[in-house]
Amino acid sequence: MTLVPGLRAQSVIVVEMDDTAKKVGSGDVPVLATPRLLALAEAATVRAVRPHLAPGQTSVGTRVELEHMAASPLGARVQVGVELTEVTGRRLVFAFEAHDERAVVGKGTIERVVVDRAAFVARATR
């Protein structure tokens, strides 16, 4: 495992109806849903660390802090960038920021832990 602070990745989408609060049930308006924003940020964290994990390892989310600061309407292009800011043993801390064409729409932190994939799945399915 060669995880060091500074690793970066991003996720980009164009907001479609399936991404909206109305569709995912987190509200009733046709704008980017907060759970969808979080999913984009988490996807970027996975992308950042995947090439640096040993065979059989994965990372799982353990803690999130998210501030959804502005609405992104249908058709908006939203880009979420993440940076690994802290590595303490198996614990990883990422900072993220999301932008659309107009403004910063969200920011926060995501913590993940590196685990053995097979052992984790076995414990989860008992």
Catalytic residue among 34, 58, 85, 109: 34
Catalytic site includes residue 88: no
Instruction: Write down the H helix ranges in 12-116.
Output: 21-24, 34-49
Rounded alpha-carbon distances, angstroms, from residue 35 to 22, 46, 90: 12, 16, 25
Cα–Cα dist 45/107, whole Å:
14
- Given the residues 20, 42, 83, 99, the one annotated as active site: 42
Q: Name the active-site residue from 20, 45, 68, 99.
A: 68
CA angle 114, 78, 104 (to 5 degrees): 90
Active site residue 52: no
42: annotated active-site residue? yes
Question: Helices then strands (H, E): number in the chain?
Answer: 3, 5
So which residues are the catalytic ones? 34, 42, 68
